[in-house]
Amino acid sequence: MAKIVLLDAKTLGQVPNLKGLSKFGEVKSYDTTLPDETASRIADANIIITNKVIIDRKVIEQCPKLKLICISATGTNNVDLIAAKEKGIQVKNAVGYGSNSVAQHTFASILQLFNQISYYDTYVKNGRYAQSDIFTHYGPPTRELNDKSFGIIGLGNIGKTVAGIASSFGAKVCYYSTSGRNKNEKYTQLTLDELLKSSDIISVHAPLNAQTTNLISKEQFALMKPSSILVNVGRGGIVDESALAEAINNSLIAGACIDVFEHEPIKVENPLLKVKYPEKLVLTPHNAWASIESRTKLVEIVSKNIEDFLKADV
């Protein structure tokens, strides 16, 4: 019977099918795991599951029974893939589980700003609407997505899902491929500068790598329309947070929706927490991906990876 260790179960939350992992062997689960706890916790494991816990060469060399590392995420940067390969350890990640969740969150955030939902909800609940002398109220202007230029940075699975929804709203979609590999004749491909200058909404759906680190910084904000909004549900580090705070403070852009940060959880000194116009920001705690459906599908993929491995290992 395989010995399976789940190192950071808390990152998956309460998922109904998580208990199903026990059919593959003896499962030991930890809510979180600190760096100095990792090696001892997986010393006798055959299979480990990690979302963000780092499995580096030093850890791998202390785990002679380890045969499979399951990453409960798409990115593999928390595992030393070279060290794992040298030891004959398979590494399997999970792909495609969160596209719908991230796309839905993208538009929930955009519409929060475009429709000023927070303001108008408060206006009714605090009793001001009950005192109105007309049937409606004109506070902060609301805007329509129809006929807006919707620029997508990174046209992978999530980017294409967002593009389809944006088109349904009547927006005109354009895109910039950060890798240069994604081509789609359905939408207009632009250079980054062209996209930034022309777009009313700029939505980031790219991975963090050498090409995308600080892709959107002070120089790029200077190119954007004062009426534009920026969405980053890709990775923290793609958008320079200090430059974004400055852009909000100086009204270089109309607003931003940020779900990912350079340091997670966010640091208390992050400049985005201290902007002059907080109503122009929608900030969420890296949960765009985390619908219950998405997390359930993620566990299904991890289970399938373990099942396939065990069948091949017989």
Catalytic residue positions?
A: 235, 264, 286
The residues near 242 (Cβ < 8 Å, ≥ 6 apart) are 271
Sign of CA dihedral 281, 287, 293, 294: positive
- Report residue 47: phi and psi, to 5°: -135, 135
* Residue type for position 269: E
- Do 226 and 251 form a contact (C-beta atoms < 8 A)? yes
Give me 55's structure tokens: 């499995």
- DSSP H helical ranges for the chain: 38-41, 57-61, 81-86, 99-114, 117-125, 157-168, 192-198, 218-221, 241-249, 292-313
Distance, CA of 261 to CA of 282 (rounded, Å): 13
Nearest residue to 232 (alpha-carbon basis) of 208, 198, 197: 208
| ∠ Cα 271 273 276 (to 5°) | 85
CA dihedral 16, 19, 20, 22 (to 10 degrees): 180
How far apart are the two ends of the chain, measured CA to CA in Å? Answer: 12
The residues near 110 (Cβ < 8 Å, ≥ 6 apart) are 145, 201, 203, 229, 231, 257
DSSP code, position 215: -
